[in-house]
Chains A and B, each alone.
Chain A
Amino acid sequence: MPRAWTVGLTVAALAIALVLPFTLSNFRLFQFSQVFIYAIALLGLNILTGFNGQISLGHGAFYAVGAYTTAIMIDQWSVPYGWTIPVAGVTCLVVGFLFGIPAVRLEGLYLALATFALALAVPQILKYFEHWTGGSQGIVLSKPNPPWGLPINPDQWLYFLCLALLVALFVLAANLLHGRTGRAIVAIRDNAIAAQAMGVHTALYKSLVFGVSAAYTGVAGALSAVTIAYVAPDSFDVFRSITFLVGIVIGGLASISGAIFGALFIQFVPNWAQDISKAAPWAIYGVFLIGFMYVMPRGIAGSLRLAAARWLRRRAEPVASATGSRR
């Protein structure tokens, strides 16, 4: 896609995102805040799985660590929530990096299993440290009010907060992935041995990517704790991790914009499925999943990119044949 297009579409999307809070109901804003939060988490997972080729079935665990870091800091030490979000990100960066070190030795499906174990363990570990985490009762927080006397309501404020972080983190990810580092990350996915031969420190890179990925998901978790104003082990079951994986595959692997499409999917499709059939919502969800995978095998973002490329080529064809005849 030409660069001008990408920029144009991004600006258009941003403009819409900025107008929405003044046209939609608070409930819809809450839903879109969730979409932004999911998008951040999905981008984190996509950096790891889509770009670096490491499969994780355990990102719900980092989501939980981020959420609990924020909740515990607010609950135990009355830290303003704004400060807890970067701390949650850094905590997950460290936890993810440390988990990434042994994970480097595990390839493909074995890594998937190891991370799956993490997702299984975290809800129970949370109950173990009851003094901090409130056990299965969880921690109830207060919904934050807009700061600086802004004339907006709490839902609008949270929407803007999530949107701002989403944009910042997306720009950061784009810079990371489009540069030299990004090429190294992708090279490891495509052929680790060749990457190593080119002088890429694969082990270090893999652990770092794991850390960065976890940090993104942790920030998302922290935001979810703030917007839901409640954390409990039941919020972070294994299904959450699997939902994230569904999100990046549907949205488009190794695509930054795919995270947003994936987030829209995991937020809204289960609700639609429920509207269609109360009796078997997950069967309908399954049909949606299969349908999407069949029609858009490269995810929504990938398919859109393909469609755009095809359209551009068709438009360029007459020109191409003209130059051909001249030759």
Chain B
Amino acid sequence: MLRRGFVLALVLAVGLATSASAQTPGVTATEIKIGNTNPYSGPASAYGTIGKALGAYFKKVNDDGGINGRKVNYISYDDAYSPPKAVEMVRKLVEQDQVAALFQTLGTPTNTAIHKYVNSQKVPHLFVATGATKWNDPKNFPWTMGWQPNYQTEGRTYASYILKNLPDAKIGILYQNDDYGKDYRKGLLDGLGDAAKKLVVLEQTYEVTDPTIDSQIVNLKNSGANVFFNVTIPKFAVQAIKKAHDIGWTPTHFLNNVSSSLGTVLKPAGLEASKGLITALYMKEVTDPQWKNDKGFQDWVAWMKKYYPEGALDDQANAFGYTVAQIMVQVLKQCGNDLSRENIMKQAANLKNVELPLLLPGIKVNTSPTDHAPIEQEQLAKFDGERWVLFGDLLEAVRK
């Protein structure tokens, strides 16, 4: 009993002496713990490669000596894209593993399930891997921050292009029946404003579990639409591009960024059929030959070969993981020696004009305490049968 009292006193004394470290869960003199959940199994397991790429990048960082002398201990659990599982795994990360911050937890429903919890626990919930708009809400959720340009922003980008360049547009929309699809749709309709009623001739939806969307494409063609806003994930994007081509429907075809990958969408759909597609990009497409001699791209390939050889070199998700891991490292570097959760959050909201090797030239990462949307620039690109050709200027998202 006496001994326990002594130990307690000692712990208290040490705790007081190094009060900074007492308030910094997940941080020791040699290590910083970062937590993550990813769908390594289940319906969305194709995204799991992002979680693995993140781990591979931190391995490189550690091999290079870590961050300010500390190694990153990256802990990633499988949530199978199931909200209850995500809650369990995130609670494990926060309460048992005592991570300093959560990083790149993947999925809109899974992040929604933990949103309130992490904010009540005051754990940094950084650069979540979902394009929903709600992560940029620092007033109500000061501990959560998004990453990629959100879907509404992108939808508005297309709308402004349509209004400017396609006055006779008759727009047909195909979107996935969930908030991913609805966010895009809302962005487009908001961007079109009052013209939306006149311009949009038909809207079609599909469920992520549907086997095919052929009938929706046929309906859209029959509606007389000459502009096609295609809000589909890769599997359905391939089907849509193919089907439209097969039935001889040649609208001005806007394809959402989610499915802009040359390797996983355009090639399977057929390069001829993909000609003329328009999308909005913010990253260098890794299968695009125009980046072959780009330093950033070459570094990425070298890293892939050394640290993640089992990952696919034509999968954009691996470039995505590489890039977002770099911004996390930037935040931790900015923290210096104060790795308290407060300071990690403060530095995450203090990124100024950061450029990353695989972002399109000119795109800068910016955050502030009132702006939790790191990337808000995109550029339109047209597919010429071989590669995405960027055109026009970088488009800033108009904040509403």
3 shortest interchain CB distances as A-B pairs: A136-B178, A27-B95, A230-B113
B residues 91-149 near A (Cβ < 8 Å) are 91-92, 95-96, 108-110, 112-113, 115-117
* B116, A235: Cβ atoms closer than 8 Å: no
A residues 136-193 near B (Cβ < 8 Å) are 136-138, 140, 142-143
Report the bound CA distance from A230 to B76 in whole Å: 22
A235 and B82 in contact, given A27-B96, A140-B112, A282-B41 (Cβ under 8 angstroms): yes
* A235, B83: Cβ atoms closer than 8 Å: yes
Q: Name the residue on B nearest A124 (C-beta).
A: B207
DSSP class of A's interface residues: helix, strand, loop or mixed?
Answer: helix
Tell yes or no: B303 within 8 A of A by CB.
no
**Residues of chain B with a CB closer than 8 A to A282's CB:** 41
Report the bound CA distance from A233 to B176 in whole Å: 14
Mark B31-44 against chain A: 1 for CB-CB distance below 8 A, else 0. 00000000011110
Tell yes or no: A31 within 8 A of B by CB.
yes
* B209, A235: Cβ atoms closer than 8 Å: no
Report the bound CA distance from A127 to B175 in whole Å: 14
Tell yes or no: A259 within 8 A of B by CB.
no
Q: Name the residue on A nearest B210 (C-beta).
A: A124
Mark B235-266 against chain A: 1 for CB-CB distance below 8 A, else 0. 00000000000000000000000000000000
**Residues of chain A with a CB closer than 8 A to B95's CB:** 25-27
Contact of B177 among A127, A232, A235 (CB under 8 A): A127
Report the bound CA distance from A304 to B376 in whole Å: 61
* B209, A232: Cβ atoms closer than 8 Å: no
29 contacts between A and B (CB under 8 A): A25-B95, A27-B91, A27-B95, A31-B88, A34-B84, A120-B209, A127-B177, A127-B178, A136-B109, A136-B178, A136-B179, A137-B108, A138-B83, A138-B113, A140-B116, A143-B116, A143-B117, A229-B116, A229-B117, A230-B112, A231-B83, A232-B109, A234-B81, A234-B82, A235-B82, A235-B83, A235-B109, A237-B43, A281-B41
* A142, B96: Cβ atoms closer than 8 Å: no
* A278, B40: Cβ atoms closer than 8 Å: yes
* B92, A27: Cβ atoms closer than 8 Å: yes
A235 and B112 in contact, given A25-B95, A30-B91, A135-B178 (Cβ under 8 angstroms): no
Report the bound CA distance from A45 to B207 in whole Å: 29
* A34, B116: Cβ atoms closer than 8 Å: no
Mark B315-350 against chain A: 1 for CB-CB distance below 8 A, else 0. 000000000000000000000000000000000000
